[in-house]
Structure 1
Amino acid sequence: MIPHDDPQARDQEASVRPQSLMLSFLGIHVLNRGVAVFSGSVIDVFARVGVSEDAVRSTLTRMVKRDLLARHRDGRRMYFGLTARSAAVLEDGEHRVWRSGAVNSDWDGVWTMVGFSVPESWRSQRHDLRSRLIWGGFGPLQNGLWIAPGVVDVPALVEDLELDDHLKVFTAHTAKPTEAEQIARTAFDVPAIAERYQVFLRRWDHDRPLADAPDDLARQLLLHTEWLQLVRQDPRLPAEHLPDDWPAIRAEQVFHTLAGAYAGTAASIAGSVLDTIPVDGP
């Protein structure tokens, strides 16, 4: 599915893990529908994108253990539905894909800053905090000081880490001689962000993307998974401080065009393949 002369595109395809695909599948076909889906039909869908039955079953089991899925038995069949935790994760993804978007064209000049001092011996807590900050669009400005464009709800981002006493949070504007563009290029690897979008465009921006995929359900699943990974890694830096040819602009147009093109056929195929039961909950 990827040109063999494009190692970065191959790496991006390899990085699409079964759990990432599963979250995309759940977000498209399960979220807000009040249903749980039969494991066998999930296996059928994932076979279309080259994921084995064993990998699907292992992913489902891990997600149950992490409170991202709940089991529902109906006769001899096992169905899987969302939990409150997975619904929140999927709604965040839906917001990033369809509402906030990849291009930050309405930035008001405000930055959120987080200073932290966590003991070196607390390696796990430090790792978790940094992971949450990256998830929230932060980058390291200097040792112990991270920054993100816009106003970020830091308490919601780190609420279960129990590190409040070790954090200092501010909102601020830059002042001379500091420039916003300087902040963006210090705290974030702008060329690497751009290259990820270029890889996406090389894979999807042509007449017949993924022509060897079996159907539009497979294409939809791969497209949404790759796009969500992109926007979750993108801190949405202010467009005014990025190059005029910033590739996220074209990439987002391509995503929306293809998502619309695949939606109808993919929904029809999913309707014929998926075995679901109604459930209460998220």
Structure 2
Amino acid sequence: MGMNTRSMIFTLYGDYIRHYGNEIWIGSLISLLKEFGHNEQAVRAAISRMYKQGWVESTKKGNKSYYYLTERGVNRMEEAADRIFKFKPAEWDGKWRMLMYTIPETKRNARDEFRKELVWSGFGAMSTSTWISPNDLEKQVKDLVEKYEIEPFVEFFVSEYKGPNDDAKLVEKCWNLEEINEKYQEFISYYSQKFIIDRNKIQNGEMTDAECFVERTSLVHEYRKFLFVDPGLPEELLPKKWLGNHAASLFSDYYRTLAEPASRFFEQVFKEGNEIKHKDESYNVLDHPLMIEP
């Protein structure tokens, strides 16, 4: 499963660095990504691109460069973590959030970025400029509208669907759940076998901390991709043979198995050139505050 460097850096910030003061020396980042076969040049190019895109800021201490997430980056990581580690579908209030926009051609870039963010947040398109979601996303919408300065061009409603079809038909029109289910099946097929093998290896002391670090990071990296395809619909709107819950349980079990040795390796690399004392004292990798049992 291919992993590009920039995407891997996001995964490392989300699953590790944000719990350790949210800042890392570029040398440590290079060492960590070496474990996945990424070279120094690729890491420097990727972090530079993230800097230009406003995801990270840099600071110098002596002759060392450190990178930390901007407020925008922190907010995105928190939102992503909330969705990755929250395995119970939200309870539905029966209402639909509807967003309509008429963003002019002069703001085409903002319109394209706004559309990508809507998909990431879990909205589905009824038509080119009409989007819906059953989830309470008012805050996200407000933040996005402000971010792209498109207040005059957007209308947002909280409404009830009165037919003529049922809610399931509405879901079918806006999301391809069959395709998403197939992606979950691929994830389950690949990782259920891998989980058993790795669990046995760990129990028998046949897996190094570095290997656990690579597997845990790869696992989160792959599971994180569902944020871009699964809208996180409430249980009432999902098909009977929905595989999302099975995938979430598998992810949770596998993550917990790899968690401690992976963290040990991360800390071993991190303590060279970084302030380990900035680690969040309340952070417990086995009792993640956002991890909810199914």
* Structure-1 separation of matches of 2:147 and 2:263: 37
For residue 225 of structure 2, what is the amino acid of its counterpart? Q
Size of the aligned set, in residue pairs, is 266
Could you tell me whether the CA contact under 8 Å between 1:116 and 1:144 is conserved in 2?
A: yes
Alignment deviations for residues 193-226 of structure 1 (CA, whole Å, 9 cap, x no partner): 1122122112211122699996010111111111
Is 2:158 the counterpart of 1:171? yes
Q: Which residue of the partner structure matches residue 249 of structure 2? A: 253
- Equivalent of residue 90 in structure 1, options 61, 77, 81: 77
Q: Which residue of the partner structure matches residue 235 of structure 1? A: 231
The normalised TM-score by structure 2 is: 0.82
- Equivalent of residue 131 in structure 1, options 116, 121, 145: 116
Report how far residue 191 of structure 1 moved.
1.6
* Structure-1 separation of matches of 2:277 and 2:112: 36
- Equivalent of residue 65 in structure 1, options 35, 39, 52: 52
Deviates more, 1:258-267 or 1:203-212: 203-212
* Structure-1 separation of matches of 2:238 and 2:23: 43
CA gap 1:114/1:279 in 2 versus in 1, 3 angstroms = farther
Q: Which residue of the partner structure matches residue 97 of structure 2? A: 112
Could you tell me whether the CA contact under 8 Å between 2:103 and 2:153 is conserved in 1?
A: yes
* Structure-1 separation of matches of 2:69 and 2:104: 36
Counting only pairs closer than 5 Å after superposition, residues 23-42 of structure 1 correspond to structure 2 as: 23-34=10-21, 36-42=23-29
Is 2:125 the counterpart of 1:140? yes
The normalised TM-score by structure 1 is: 0.85
Could you tell me whether the CA contact under 8 Å between 2:99 and 2:154 is conserved in 1?
A: yes
For residue 264 of structure 2, what is the amino acid of its counterpart? S
- Gap runs ≥5 in structure 2: 202-206, 281-294
CA gap 1:119/1:36 in 2 versus in 1, 3 angstroms = closer
User: Is the partner of 1:159 in helix, strand or coil?
Assistant: helix
CA gap 1:157/1:123 in 2 versus in 1, 3 angstroms = closer
Counting only pairs closer than 5 Å after superposition, residues 169-248 of structure 1 correspond to structure 2 as: 169-206=156-193, 207-208=196-197, 215-248=211-244
* Structure-1 separation of matches of 2:257 and 2:132: 37
Deviates more, 1:197-206 or 1:258-267: 197-206
For residue 141 of structure 1, what is the amino acid of its counterpart? M
CA gap 1:75/1:235 in 2 versus in 1, 3 angstroms = same
User: Is the partner of 1:51 in helix, strand or coil?
Assistant: coil
Is 2:266 the counterpart of 1:277? no
* Structure-2 separation of matches of 1:125 and 1:86: 18
* Structure-1 separation of matches of 2:123 and 2:265: 39
* Structure-1 separation of matches of 2:198 and 2:245: 19
Report how far residue 239 of structure 1 moved.
2.1
* Structure-1 separation of matches of 2:234 and 2:168: 9
User: Is the partner of 1:96 in helix, strand or coil?
Assistant: helix
Report how far residue 248 of structure 1 moved.
0.5
User: Is the partner of 1:78 in helix, strand or coil?
Assistant: strand
* Structure-2 separation of matches of 1:208 and 1:49: 20
Report how far residue 17 of structure 1 moved.
2.6
Q: Which residue of the partner structure matches residue 263 of structure 2? A: 267
For residue 208 of structure 1, what is the amino acid of its counterpart? I
CA gap 1:185/1:160 in 2 versus in 1, 3 angstroms = same
Could you tell me whether the CA contact under 8 Å between 1:132 and 1:158 is conserved in 2?
A: no
* Structure-2 separation of matches of 1:151 and 1:272: 41
Deviates more, 1:42-51 or 1:207-216: 207-216
* Structure-1 separation of matches of 2:66 and 2:106: 42
